[in-house]
């Protein structure tokens, strides 16, 4: 707000959207954004010749992918696709088993100990901060290439997602039923089962189903670093320049993601 004096001598207020300090801050933020974009473009080191030739190369690649090698599906690719679904499912189950105790420990209203809260939140942050491909590389070094490394990588990546949302759902639960059970002298497990669980059950199943959907997509690419699944078949086909098989694998990945989305939508309507 700023003031001005009219012709009669009375003071009147003139509304302005931003104060001078706010305008200066907005200009500074815009300037920083523009500088960041310019610096990013400079560091990418775009080669104009490759950029101009990209449409031609893309058209040539699509031509090599057609027709799709449908007859290649039975055998290795089929087994790799099934393995991908197994990785996503088993990884999600392992993640739920490991994430539930961490989520319970991260909820401040259920676990008032600050040291335990801090440790639990540290575990959740650590899980989310490392990409699933990095987790896969770490476990490949431990277990060797294959589906086992991919499954454990998916599980460890999912702990932070499931545990964080579960802890937040517990903290948002109504205190009335919990206080009533506490007043009767109920045990901690009874309070969790009869005080918190009925309230967080819809959120819990929604979190698990959503994470499984995400894990189906992530497990499809973990094979690119040797962690099993259809990603390994994709990487092998690309190395051998078998572009008709690459097209088949891409179609299968797209199809399985769509089917997983449909399954998740129907399951949420049935369970929730």
State pLDDT tens for residues 130-184: 888 888 888 888 888 888 888 899 999 889 888 888 888 888 878 787 778 778 8
What is the reported pLDDT for 4? 46
φ, ψ of residue 30 in degrees (nearest 5): -60, -40
What is the reported pLDDT for 93? 92
- Counting beta carbons within 10 angstroms of the beta carbon of residue 62, is it exposed (0 to 12), middle (13 to 18) or buried (19 or more)? exposed
Q: Return the structure tokens found at 60.
A: 């040539």
What is the reported pLDDT for 272? 63
DSSP 15: -
DSSP 4: E
Is residue 140 within 8 Å of 226, Cβ to Cβ?
yes
The pTM (predicted TM-score) of the whole model is: 0.73
3-state secondary structure of 35: helix
| Cis previous bond, 26, omega within 30 | no
- Per the rule left: phi > 0, alpha: psi between -120 and 50, beta: everything else, 9 is left
Q: What count of other Cβ atoms lies within 10 Å of the Cβ of residue 182?
A: 14
Residue with tokens 């964080």: 164
Is residue 124 within 8 Å of 160, Cβ to Cβ?
yes
Q: Return the structure tokens found at 17.
A: 């959207």
> Residue 234 belongs to what H/E stretch?
helix 230-239
Task: Give the bridge partners for 11, in sequence order.
Answer: 5
Closest to 151 in 3D by CA, of 199, 213, 83, 102: 83
Q: How far apart are CA 149 and CA 145, in angstroms?
A: 7
What is the reported pLDDT for 75? 78
Cβ contacts of residue 152 below 8 Å, gap of 6+? 91, 94, 135, 139, 143
Is residue 213 within 8 Å of 256, Cβ to Cβ?
no
Q: What count of other Cβ atoms lies within 10 Å of the Cβ of residue 246?
A: 22
What is the reported pLDDT for 94? 92
> Residue 52 belongs to what H/E stretch?
helix 48-65
Question: In which residue ranges of the chain is pLDDT below 50?
Answer: 1-7
Is residue 205 within 8 Å of 197, Cβ to Cβ?
no
Is residue 151 within 8 Å of 184, Cβ to Cβ?
no
Q: What is the pLDDT of residues 170-196, one digit of tens each?
A: 888 787 877 787 788 777 788 778 777
What is the reported pLDDT for 3? 46
């Amino acid at each position: 707000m700023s003031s001005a004096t009219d012709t009669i001598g009375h003071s009147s207020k003139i509304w302005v959207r931003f104060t001078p300090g706010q305008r200066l801050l907005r200009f500074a933020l815009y300037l920083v954004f523009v500088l960041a974009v310019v610096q990013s473009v400079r560091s990418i080191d775009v080669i104009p010749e490759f950029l101009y030739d990209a449409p031609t190369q893309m058209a040539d690649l699509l031509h090599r992918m057609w027709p799709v090698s449908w007859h290649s599906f039975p055998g290795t690719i089929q087994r790799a696709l099934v393995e991908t679904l197994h990785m996503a499912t088993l990884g999600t189950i392992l993640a739920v088993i490991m994430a539930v105790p961490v989520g319970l420990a991260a909820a401040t209203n259920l676990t008032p100990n600050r040291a335990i809260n801090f440790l639990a939140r540290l575990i959740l942050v650590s899980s989310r901060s490392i990409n699933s491909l990095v987790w896969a590389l770490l476990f490949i070094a431990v277990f060797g290439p294959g589906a086992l490394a991919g499954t454990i990588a998916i599980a460890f990546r999912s702990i932070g997602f499931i545990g964080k949302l579960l802890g937040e759902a517990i903290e948002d639960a109504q205190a009335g039923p919990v206080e009533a059970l506490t007043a009767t002298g109920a045990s901690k497990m009874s309070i969790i089962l009869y005080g918190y669980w009925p309230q967080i059950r819809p959120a819990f199943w929604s979190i698990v189903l959503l994470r499984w959907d995400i894990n189906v997509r992530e497990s499809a690419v973990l094979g690119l670093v040797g962690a099993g699944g259809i990603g390994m078949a994709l990487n092998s086909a690309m190395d051998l320049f078998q572009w008709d098989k690459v097209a088949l694998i891409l179609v299968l990945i797209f199809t399985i993601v769509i089917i997983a989305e449909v399954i998740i939508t129907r399951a949420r309507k049935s369970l929730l």
